[in-house]
Structure 1
């Protein structure tokens, strides 16, 4: 297992240093549909050369990093487009869940270090995290609706940070995750040191942050970093099916419970404050969704734990 990761690590290092990328296209059962553009709000055919492409499927939207020639490493244009697409998703009342993935067999290899190395002017970054994009684009967002990451190939460095932005991660069997930027002195400034310890605990997070070592899907699952493991080539379709399942639930209640969990994890200063937030926001759902749901239950829906 270590030899497999060592070989994979050698390939990506060589590819980064030589400015070339080894691609491994993956199959998918997702049928081609029309592209949603955040800039126009209209549907249009996927344009060649777009660094980010989005596709609507009912109340679910998929957002794809489209730079397979560099393992979907993110440059400034890609960061801007990712931010625009996820902001468009969050503000669209017709969309309930987004799926983030990468084209061409990899999720994201992090920030484009080749571009950074060739930067002639000083890199301008917004220092106030309450304003503007993060270096990877949407990493500073606090979305009001669920985001699922469909992880294939490499999800490393800033790519790992993008995966951490998601609520859930569907991970393919051969996927590799890790803080690979440790090797080159590139810090985690897109939420990696904030979200990773919350998800998997400080001890395990420090193991990954300090060593930069790669971990595979099974270890990621044991850590709680992966939520589902699927065969290679199936992460996107599985993530879409999961998104459609989540999208079918009463959304006000779902988003209220999600918001309370996020508040309790990141913002609450005490148990009492977290409990008060949960009650104050949850009670507002009862008239809108709980009573109609109770009526459906008494009519026979959902008996025996049935979800259909």
Structure 2
């Protein structure tokens, strides 16, 4: 496969006061490797510093949000995701394995989820303030099936969003969560707001309408209330403990055989086509 252009791994589009950040690796279901994580982090640094930008939307190209970290890059030093335990107190925060997941921004971010938002992709969605889904969405902790740990906020943020009981179900089983169930357990919503009926309108279109609504609010009040909520639930210490335990899992080597079987099965399926 030809080497990817780093400048095209993440696309940034500005529509008025809305900044759309798109993970652009559709051939990988928008899995994030190290260069993509760096590009995502920089995109949100730029968004937060832009005085004309009020709301950001995080989405994925080609019909999927993000299928997690790129497993093929785990043992490639040039493409591996950032894996540092350093986390200074200064805002907006350092880069995480998936990019912006350790950042605390001053403005809201909406996840527009079509297709898969699983494993590290679910962690990216949980980092966002609001998750919008359409009828194509599937969420879940699929990395459970590969022996790869949640290492970028998943074990911390998921219980905060859906409660401990539902979070344990999803984290331990690794089962898929379709859009209708995601609404029911309030893992995600639609816009106009609904926790009951899945919208057929593409998630990005819904998110753009929501972003326009948020941009019309008095901004100082909205942003301060949002930040107060973030600071009322500090997650830095918990995420550092998650990272420590995740590294222990990776260092065990348990995941290597599971990933090998996964890729062998994919290669076998491709050969039959």
Q: How would you bin the TM-score normalised by the shorter chain? A: 0.7 to 0.9
Which runs of structure 2 are paired with 1:152-301 in the superposition (5 Å)? 152-228=114-190, 229-231=198-200, 234-266=202-234
Unaligned 5+ segments in structure 2 are: 191-197, 236-273
Taking the aligned partners of 1:168 and 1:82, their CA distance within structure 2 comes to 18
Which runs of structure 2 are paired with 1:106-145 in the superposition (5 Å)? 106-117=64-75, 125-130=83-88, 132-145=94-107
Once the two structures are TM-superposed, the CA of residue 118 in structure 1 deviates from its matched residue by: 5.1
Deviations 1:137-190, CA, capped at 9 Å, x for gaps: 111011111000000000000000000011111101121100001111111111
Once the two structures are TM-superposed, the CA of residue 191 in structure 1 deviates from its matched residue by: 0.6
Taking the aligned partners of 1:90 and 1:125, their CA distance within structure 2 comes to 23
Taking the aligned partners of 2:80 and 2:218, their CA distance within structure 1 comes to 48
Between 1 and 2, higher relative CO (CA 8 Å, sep ≥ 6) is seen in 2
Give RMSD over aligned pairs.
2.2
Deviations 1:273-303, CA, capped at 9 Å, x for gaps: xxxxxxxxxxxxxxxxxxxxxxxxxxxxxxx
Shift in alpha-carbon separation, 1:183–1:91, aligned structure 2, 3 A: same
Shift in alpha-carbon separation, 1:50–1:121, aligned structure 2, 3 A: closer
Q: Residue 169 of structure 1 aligns to a residue in which SS?
A: strand
Deviations 1:40-84, CA, capped at 9 Å, x for gaps: xxxxxxx99600000001111000000000000001110000000
Q: Residue 145 of structure 1 aligns to a residue in which SS?
A: coil
Whether the 8 Å CA contact 1:74–1:110 is kept in 2: the answer is: yes
Shift in alpha-carbon separation, 1:252–1:71, aligned structure 2, 3 A: same
User: Given the two structures, how large is their TM-score scaled by the length of structure 2?
Assistant: 0.76
Whether the 8 Å CA contact 2:110–2:131 is kept in 1: the answer is: yes
Taking the aligned partners of 2:224 and 2:52, their CA distance within structure 1 comes to 17
Larger Rg: 1
Taking the aligned partners of 2:142 and 2:207, their CA distance within structure 1 comes to 25
Q: Residue 266 of structure 1 aligns to a residue in which SS?
A: coil
Taking the aligned partners of 1:194 and 1:106, their CA distance within structure 2 comes to 24
Unaligned 5+ segments in structure 1 are: 1-18, 20-46, 268-308
Shift in alpha-carbon separation, 1:121–1:99, aligned structure 2, 3 A: closer
Which runs of structure 2 are paired with 1:11-160 in the superposition (5 Å)? 50-117=8-75, 125-130=83-88, 132-160=94-122
